[in-house]
Amino acid sequence: MFKYEVLKQHSHSSARLGVITTPHGNIETPAFMPVGTQATVKSLSPEELKTCGAQIILGNTYHLYLRPGHEIVQALGGLHRFMNWDKPILTDSGGFQVFSLNKLAKVTEEGVTFKSHIDGSTHIFSPEHAIKVQQALGADIIMTFDEPMPYPAEKSAVEKSLNLSTRWAERCKVAHAKEAQALFGIVQGGMFEDLRTASAQQIVEIDFPGYAIGGLSVGEDIETMHEMAAFTAPLLPRNKPRYLMGVGTPKDLLVCSGMGIDMFDCVMPTRNARNGSMFTSQGKLNIKNNKYRTDASPLDPECDCYTCRNYSRAYLRHLFIADEIFALRLNTLHNIAFYQNWMQKIRRAIREDLPFDFSWTNDPKADSEMSSS
Amino acid sequence: MFKYEVLKQHSHSSARLGVITTPHGNIETPAFMPVGTQATVKSLSPEELKTCGAQIILGNTYHLYLRPGHEIVQALGGLHRFMNWDKPILTDSGGFQVFSLNKLAKVTEEGVTFKSHIDGSTHIFSPEHAIKVQQALGADIIMTFDEPMPYPAEKSAVEKSLNLSTRWAERCKVAHAKEAQALFGIVQGGMFEDLRTASAQQIVEIDFPGYAIGGLSVGEDIETMHEMAAFTAPLLPRNKPRYLMGVGTPKDLLVCSGMGIDMFDCVMPTRNARNGSMFTSQGKLNIKNNKYRTDASPLDPECDCYTCRNYSRAYLRHLFIADEIFALRLNTLHNIAFYQNWMQKIRRAIREDLPFDFSWTNDPKADSEMSSS
């Protein structure tokens, strides 16, 4: 049921137009996946996500395991049915959250012991358990369980960790063997080229239907992130989808698509929206700003999303200042639509073989502003 | 542009089926108006309100005057355009909030001095100013500015207050004279029948296109509220719409429709929804309850709203417990749909001249549970 096909190679970069086939439909790539941590992309309905152009969303295994529990989701027909989303879903393995939300997580060869951020209860995640939980959730694409490293980290520690992650990836593949879901491997190796090479060789050797680049966008500067992604992408097979985890700004998506990355996810559009920080063709727009108090124009005059078609900046500012729930909906809808429109523009450029010489904004300061928000 | 017509008189009660014509369309009565205090019915889009069957919504003059300001709303095309709602709107006069949100409000013959609940700034509302603000907002139906009395209150104080409210109602009519909006008068008089009679005579004498019964549902018991509404309704002209302000539970809407009341508003369905307290044909349902953790059935098996068609109680409980915004949307949508379906059932009974011997629920305890929540 899982298939990836390259439709067109960009002559101006390493970007490729592709299509991923899953049991819940196709995904045109390069694609951006909105994050639906707790079985909902915060504030939006599934229908709204579709009108924004979202083709696939991401669910967080760590969160859903703790609440409501993977067995409950399974008993209710799986994550698709539970949340009323009939298109593809990707779940991460929980590895990242186990560490980022639990500073005292304890790692052994067997797995990770950690405490719930909700009630402090103790849990153990092993590669086998992470697969079992993801099988219960029933996403179309699932991820191997690995150990993300903090940044910066000593090279020896990164090396030790990536070797553990390789052994865990092997165990994940064994645990997963009989299932129809596509299991992606994850390349680690921190900011060290030789370790990225070693990790990529080991993970590709295990053989997965798709590969992710993990351990980036974890505190390093943007240039380093771009360099490491550019170094790692070509180490991965051309005939498999490549997923850059946790990235990024619109500019990151363009630059990294040009490296041959096919899939992205990031909380930036949704989280920024809930803080009133909006992506527009004119750059970053902070809807709280007093200057929008009487502004009758739409958030982004070049956008045709529901928010921009029907509401003024003045109304959006009013709702936000008044702490209204509808503000979060309208803002989130626009930022997701903006990201999806942007990916569509990237895909069109590849299809028509046009150079990646365009920008998401006419504000030259926008990229640095957005990446620091 | 404003017209009220009785289409059918119920033979089993004083209820009547009617239709109100406004510049933004018709309203079938008896009607329930969802409350959109700050230019939004909390969490819902205008399109969702329409699919729920809402024909008219209520806006709060006090809130919109303070934020974003009536002049801004006017400059942006009025409240309908501002909030993207093209059906009828009713605004209250601000009188109720001036007192309920400002314990130190100071009343003189001229008007009321009060402090903003947002920033503590001092403001003065007079009858003329309340009309001016409502004209700027541009609702189809606007209300006279009156002085609501606390409950319980001394008869002499209530009498003095209702006389002041009558003088203010006269000033509102003069201030309003040239406008196309329909200005409704408000009958006060607390829980005293002779004062209700006096107030009704004075207000009807001024002559308005519709009349509200104010000063009920302010702390008195349900029986007293029903008695006072039943006493007051027949004091108002049969050929004008009657609006019972701030009421109530589904049972209240049925009982008071039977007294010949045509319009209702209440925060109960929306506020309860945000607290997880749901109206269903099986009675009150608290979605937080642990027993719904694995419940695959819809909130209300007899409801055909978007929430009930697509989501399980288990999912709704999960979203609510996880503090997800989507929980508030789905809950609010259902409660509003429930209220609108209930009004439709009441209107159908009048149309078909069936007795009001039905209930909104098969749970005999539901009414007392709901009225105390």
Give the strand order in the sheet containing B112-115: B106-107, B112-115, B122-125
Asked whether the predicted pLDDT for residue B372 surpasses 70, the reply is no
Contact B97, B63 (CB under 8 A): yes
Average pLDDT of A97-105?
86
Q: Mutual orientation of helices B222-232 and B250-257 as an angle, nearest 10°?
A: 30
Residues 6+ apart with CB under 8 A from B301: B281, B308
pLDDT tens digits, residue range A152-175? 999 999 999 999 999 999 999 999
Asked whether the predicted pLDDT for residue A5 surpasses 80, the reply is yes
Q: Do A294 and B38 touch (CB under 8 A)?
A: no
Q: Which residues of B touch A83 (CB under 8 A)?
A: 315
Residues 6+ apart with CB under 8 A from B263: B27, B29, B30, B31, B33, B90, B212, B241, B242, B243, B244
How large is the ipTM?
0.97
pLDDT tens digits, residue range B241-280? 999 999 999 999 999 999 999 999 999 999 999 999 999 9
Supply the DSSP symbol for B35.
B
pTM surpassing 0.80? yes
Q: Which residue in A164, A162, A181, A183 sits closest to A172, CA to CA?
A: A183
Q: Which of B68, B296, B329 sits opposite A314 (nearest CB)?
A: B68
Q: Which of A324, A330, A331, A334 should be substituted to probe chain B, the one whose Cβ sees the most B Cβ atoms within 10 Å? A: A324
Beta bridge partners of A9: A16
Beta bridge partners of A25: A22
Other C-beta atoms within 10 Å of A309: how many? 10
Q: Compute the radius of gyration of chain A from its Cα atoms.
A: 20
Q: Which residues of A touch B324 (CB under 8 A)?
A: 38, 40, 42
Q: Do B321 and A45 touch (CB under 8 A)?
A: no
Which residues of chain A are at the B interface, by a Cβ-Cβ cutoff of 8 Å? 38-40, 42-45, 67-68, 72, 75-77, 82-84, 293-294, 296, 310-312, 314-315, 317-319, 321-322, 324-326, 328-329
Q: Which of A68, A325, A329 sits opposite B293 (nearest CB)?
A: A68
Q: Do A294 and B319 touch (CB under 8 A)?
A: no
Question: What end-to-end distance do the CA atoms of chain A give, in Å?
Answer: 39
DSSP string for B72-87? HHHHTTHHHHHHT--S
Q: Which residue in B368, B83, B66 sits closest to A315, CA to CA?
A: B83
Q: Which of B70, B76, B270 should be substituted to probe chain A, the one whose Cβ sees the most A Cβ atoms within 10 Å? A: B76
Q: Which residue of A has its CA nearest to B326?
A: A43
Q: Do A310 and B84 touch (CB under 8 A)?
A: yes
| Amino acid B148: pLDDT | 85
Asked whether the predicted pLDDT for residue B373 surpasses 70, the reply is no
Q: Which residues of A touch B67 (CB under 8 A)?
A: 318, 321-322
Q: Which residues of B touch A80 (CB under 8 A)?
A: none
pLDDT tens digits, residue range A295-338? 999 999 999 999 999 999 999 999 999 999 999 999 999 999 99
CA distance B315 to B296: 8
| Amino acid B102: pLDDT | 81
Q: Which of B45, B75, B315 sits opposite A82 (nearest CB)?
A: B315
Q: Which of B38, B67, B293 sits opposite A72 (nearest CB)?
A: B293
Q: Which residues of A touch B83 (CB under 8 A)?
A: 315
Q: Which residues of A touch B68 (CB under 8 A)?
A: 293, 314, 317-318, 321
Q: Find out whether the peptide bond into B111 is cis, omega within 30 degrees of 0.
A: no
Q: Which residues of A touch B76 (CB under 8 A)?
A: 294, 296, 312, 314-315
Q: Which residues of A touch B329 (CB under 8 A)?
A: 43, 45, 325, 329
Q: Which residues of A touch B77 (CB under 8 A)?
A: 296
CA distance A310 to B70: 20
pLDDT tens digits, residue range B17-61? 999 999 999 999 999 999 999 999 999 999 999 999 999 999 999
Distance from chain centroid for Cα B327: 24
A·B CB contacts under 8 A? 98
CA distance A314 to A299: 9
Q: Which residues of A touch B322 (CB under 8 A)?
A: 38, 67
Which residues of chain B are at the A interface, by a Cβ-Cβ cutoff of 8 Å? 38-40, 42-45, 67-68, 72, 75-77, 82-84, 293-294, 296, 310-312, 314-315, 317-319, 321-322, 324-326, 328-329
| Amino acid A371: pLDDT | 64
Nearest CA of chain A to the CA of B147: how many Å?
Answer: 26
pLDDT tens digits, residue range B215-233? 999 999 999 999 999 999 9
Nearest CA of chain A to the CA of B176: how many Å?
Answer: 26
Average pLDDT of A278-300?
97
Nearest CA of chain A to the CA of B261: how many Å?
Answer: 32
Q: What is the mean pLDDT of chain B?
A: 96
Nearest CA of chain A to the CA of B242: how many Å?
Answer: 31
Q: Which of A43, A318, A329 sits opposite B68 (nearest CB)?
A: A318
| Amino acid A23: pLDDT | 97
Nearest CA of chain B to the CA of A48: how many Å?
Answer: 12
CA distance B143 to B131: 8
Asked whether the predicted pLDDT for residue A373 surpasses 60, the reply is no
CA distance B353 to A288: 54
Query: Mind telling me the catalytic residues of A?
Result: 92, 265
pLDDT range class, residue A177, cuts 50, 70, 90:
confident
| Amino acid A225: pLDDT | 97
pLDDT tens digits, residue range A216-241? 999 999 999 999 999 999 999 999 99
Q: What is the dihedral of CA A363, A367, A371, A373, to 10 degrees?
A: -10
Q: Which of B35, B40, B334 should be substituted to probe chain A, the one whose Cβ sees the most A Cβ atoms within 10 Å? A: B40
pLDDT tens digits, residue range A47-82? 999 999 999 999 999 999 999 999 999 999 999 999
Q: Which residues of A touch B328 (CB under 8 A)?
A: 325
Q: Do B77 and A296 touch (CB under 8 A)?
A: yes
CA distances from A109 to A127, A163, A202, B239 (A): 10, 11, 18, 82
Q: Extract the tokens encoding A123.
A: 């849990």
Q: Which residue of A has its CA nearest to B77?
A: A296
Q: Do A296 and B76 touch (CB under 8 A)?
A: yes
Average pLDDT of B163-176?
97
Contact B151, B192 (CB under 8 A): no
Q: Do B67 and A322 touch (CB under 8 A)?
A: yes
Please name the residue that has the structure tokens 């219960």. A136
Asked whether the predicted pLDDT for residue B95 surpasses 90, the reply is no
Q: Mutual orientation of helices A222-232 and A250-257 as an angle, nearest 10°?
A: 30
Q: Extract the tokens encoding A309.
A: 């078609």
Please give the share of chain B, as a percent, with pLDDT higher than 90. Answer: 92
Q: Which of B77, B314, B319 sits opposite A72 (nearest CB)?
A: B314
Supply the DSSP symbol for A108.
-
SS3 content of chain B, % helix, strand, coil (to 5): 40, 15, 40
pLDDT range class, residue A292, cuts 50, 70, 90:
very high
| Residue B142 backbone phi and psi in degrees, to 5 | -125, 165
One-letter amino acid for residue A248 of the chain: G
CA distance B319 to B313: 10
Q: Which residue in A129, A231, A125 sits closest to A187, CA to CA?
A: A231
Contact A13, A30 (CB under 8 A): no
CA distance B274 to B333: 10
Q: Which of A296, A318, A325 sits opposite B67 (nearest CB)?
A: A318
Q: Do A84 and B311 touch (CB under 8 A)?
A: yes
Strands A211-213 and A182-187, bridge-based pairing:
parallel
CA distances from A124 to A115, A128, A138, A161 (A): 9, 11, 21, 18
DSSP string for B121-180? -EEEE-HHHHHHHHHHHT-SEEE----PPPSS--HHHHHHHHHHHHHHHHHHHHHHTT-S
Contact A236, A227 (CB under 8 A): no
Query: Mind telling me the catalytic residues of B?
Result: 92, 265
Q: Which of A43, A76, A319 sits opposite B326 (nearest CB)?
A: A43
